[in-house]
Structure formats: C-alpha cells, structure tokens
Structure 1
Amino acid sequence: METNLRHVIDEEVKWDKTKTIVSKTDIYGTILYANDVFSKTCEYSTIELIGEPHNIIRHPDMPKVAFKALWDALKKGENFHAIVKNLTRTGRYYWVITDFTIDKDSEGKVVGYTARRKAVPNGVVKKIEPVYKTLLDIEKLKGEKASELYFEAYLNEEVGKNYNDFVVDLFNEELSKEEEEKNKKEINSLKKGLNWFFFGEANPN
C-alpha cells in the first residue's frame, strides 16, 4: 500500500475517543483482525488492512527506538504498553495508549499479539511529544543506536523507570488530572488500573 507516499497533515483525525481500537497480528506484525473502530479511525477498510504489516499506520514522527522497546519486550514474553502517534490513510494522526498482549496456542506457543488502544489525555501528548522529537532528531543525525542509548540514559537518569512503567505512570497521572478538573468524585479507572481500562467496558468493541 501507499504507506510511504502519503502526504502528512498536521491535523488530528476525528474519532470516537470513548471506544477501544483493537487489532490482532501474527508474530511478524501482519494484521489478522481489525475491529470497526480501528478501520474507521485509520481510514482504511477492514479488508484493506487484513494481510498488511501493522506499520502501515506508523507515523513518521515516531522514533524507531519506541518500537524496538515494544518488540524486545514481546519477544521476552512480556506484555507491554506504549504511547503511539499513528498515521491515517489521509495523512492525519491520532494518539493512543496501547496495551499489547501475547496470544498463545493450546501448547503455549506464541502465535501472535493483540493490541487494544485508547485515546490519551492531552497532557500525555504534551509530555511525550518532545521526548519523541528528541529521539527522532538523534536518530536522523546520529543513527538508531545513538537514539537507543540516549533513551536508555534518559529513562535511567531523568525518569528512573523503564519505558513501560514510564508510560503507565504518565498516563495515570494525566488521567487523574483530567478527572480532577471535571470534579469527579472517584477515579475508578485508576483504582481498577489499566486492566479495567482495556478490558472492563460494558460493551467493548
């Protein structure tokens, strides 16, 4: 498909941020399933998405080191969370927090991955975007390895957490702020954790 031919537009696509975007891939990242929310948000039909590499929605603003951290974790058998800026068919973007889980067959062999995505608070984007831009700039000027080493040092020295914990904590902190601003009495999503966030909807899509 025209992944590398799209004109990138600095405009967020309109989508229902109360919904969950779901996709399944094989171990190589080939899309096997995409729910209607995914198709509508990325502006491809489900038929167009099936059989395509998942990087069909990779936005050029995303540093490669973020995806390396993802694949390193999944190959170790670890579930993973990531904050990602994705690219739509028309060149627009949408930010999500993704919960990646590992799919296994009856014998325990890894056969693929399931990704569930939710919209993120604006505060998350404001904090993560400059970090990703720095990593991308290093990647372009100094190479992927330099970007990776910088990111490791950044997480150790300035954050004190690994990428997964950094993402989860950042999301929870910003969601908490949004909830406080709306004067909600309880923040059930934070108390129940991200597991509720991705799996506990009354009518998941």
Structure 2
Amino acid sequence: MAKYKVQPSGRERFFPENDIIVSKTDLKGHITYANRVFLDIAGLSEDEALGEPHCLIRHPDMPRCVFRLLWDTIAGGSECFAYVKNMAVNGDHYWVLAHVTPTFGPGGDIIGYHSNRRVPRRDAVAKAEALYRTLLAEEQRHTDRSAGLAASYALMQRLLAEQGVAYDEFVLGL
C-alpha cells in the first residue's frame, strides 16, 4: 500500500458469502497469482498485483505480531488460520478468515505460499478485533519497531497461554 499512499477510509467492503479470495506468493511474499475476487475487492488490476509484496493490502490496524506468527508457521511447513483486516487501494477495509499454507515442490521443499480467504463470521471479527487492538497498542507503545513487535508477540503468546490455546485454536474457536 505504501506505493499508493492510501489512508484508511473507515468504510468496510464485503464480498459474497460463497466467494473465495485466492492468492499465491513466492517465498518472499510477492504475489504470483491473484483470482478475480482478490483483485476486485482490493481494487487492483492483475498487472498492479502481480510481483508486488502481499503486504500491499495490509491494513494499519493489523498488529505485526499476527503476521510474524503467520510467517513463522508457514515457513515452518504448517498451515495457519487467521482473521485479517485488509485494505483496498482506495482505503476501504475488508475482513477475511485466511487459511494460508505452504506450497511444496517435488523434492519436498517449500516453493511458495497459497492463501484462501473466506467471509468471516461477524461475532468472530469482533473478538479478533478486540485482541488486535490490544496487540497493536502494545506495539505502538514502543518507539523501537523491533521492540514493539517483540513485546506484542510476547503479549499475544501470554494471552493465548492464559486461555490454554495456540493461535490457530483461538481463531477456530471464535
């Protein structure tokens, strides 16, 4: 999004219940495939999306620690589920329930990542949003970005441990 210098509009976009947003990235997170649903809701053409970092649609309300957990999980060869608030190029936002998986090559090495995103339940969005506000506030409390990320990640792990669940269990239990 930095390329577009977009500010959040405060307006939410929605996509049909039966639609699935699909994208694929290379190992560095650059988009190699985006389906029509992805392009339409993000307000991008295929030429604008392909080759760009997937963080192109990152909303500033999303705590970075959620993405750290997601990337650590998929880089380790496991799937990850997450509620994510994304931002279209006009500043509108949209919520998704993302299922991100590594893509394995013939030799068993990870060669990229695949993400399917569905319409999330509204009650689950409210719960995820509450957690994310807490985590983002912790990140922003620190002037050093690395320290903020580390502190919010530790807070997320502590809050989940208090509930006796891993992040995926938290997400799927919402």
Corresponding position of 1:162: 166
- The 2-side partners of 1:154 and 1:14 are apart by 30
Is 1:93 aligned with 2:98? no
1:2 Cα deviation after fit: 4.2
1:4 Cα deviation after fit: 6.1
Q: Unaligned 5+ residue runs, structure 1?
A: 171-205
Per-residue Cα deviation, 1:89-129 (whole angstroms, up to 9, x for no partner)? 10000000111111111111110000000010110111111
What's the Cα RMSD here? 1.2
1:61 Cα deviation after fit: 0.2
Per-residue Cα deviation, 1:66-107 (whole angstroms, up to 9, x for no partner)? 001101111211111111000001000000011111111111
- The partner residue of 1:152 within 151, 157, 160 is 157
User: Match for 2:19: what amino acid?
Assistant: K
Aligned pairs for 1:25-44 (under 5 A) are 25-44=25-44
SS at match of 2:85: strand
Corresponding position of 1:10: 10
Contact 2:39/2:46 (<8 A) preserved: yes
Contact 1:85/1:93 (<8 A) preserved: yes
SS at match of 2:141: helix
Contact 2:15/2:119 (<8 A) preserved: no
Task: Give the direction of change, closer, same or farther, for the CA distance of 1:64–1:2 in structure 2 (3 Å limit).
Answer: closer
- The 2-side partners of 1:36 and 1:70 are apart by 24
User: Kindly, what percent of the aligned residue pairs are identical?
Assistant: 38
- The 1-side partners of 2:8 and 2:25 are apart by 25
1:15 Cα deviation after fit: 2.5
Contact 1:3/1:57 (<8 A) preserved: no
Contact 1:79/1:101 (<8 A) preserved: yes
Q: What count of residue pairs does the alignment treat as equivalent?
A: 169
SS at match of 1:19: coil
Corresponding position of 1:196: none
Aligned pairs for 1:24-173 (under 5 A) are 24-142=24-142, 143-157=148-162, 159-170=163-174
- The 1-side partners of 2:109 and 2:138 are apart by 37
- The 2-side partners of 1:42 and 1:3 are apart by 14
Stretches (4+) displaced over 3 A? 1-4
- The 1-side partners of 2:2 and 2:155 are apart by 32
SS at match of 1:60: coil
Q: Unaligned 5+ residue runs, structure 2?
A: 143-147
Q: Higher Cα Rg: structure 1 or 2?
A: 1
- The 2-side partners of 1:113 and 1:162 are apart by 21
